[in-house]
Amino acid sequence: MLSLLQEIMPVWLIYIFLGTTSFILVTLNNFQTMIEYPFDKKGVDSIAIRDFSLDIPA
């Protein structure tokens, strides 16, 4: 298959494309792992439920 692509575009362009695609997919996977569960108090998207309590005098 690589020999078929060599007729269309240079080999170095194929390797750059594959490297860039791999980098993007790994980055998206890491980002998804960071925002997967918002209530675990880990990562940038943590939701602190206790901060949303209402202080209404009775």
pLDDT at 49 over 70: no
Kindly give, in sequence order, each residue whose CB lies less than 8 Å from that of residue 35, ignoring residues fewer than 6 positions away.
43, 44, 45
Nearest in space to 48 (alpha carbons), one of 58, 38, 57, 56: 38
Q: What is the pLDDT of residue 8?
A: 80
Q: What is the pLDDT of residue 46?
A: 65
CA atoms within 13 Å, Cβ hemisphere of 48: 4
Contact 14, 7 (CB under 8 A): no
Q: What is the pTM of this model?
A: 0.58
Q: What is the pLDDT of residues 2-48, one digit of tens each?
A: 667 677 888 888 899 999 999 999 999 988 887 776 667 666 666 66
pLDDT at 58 over 70: no
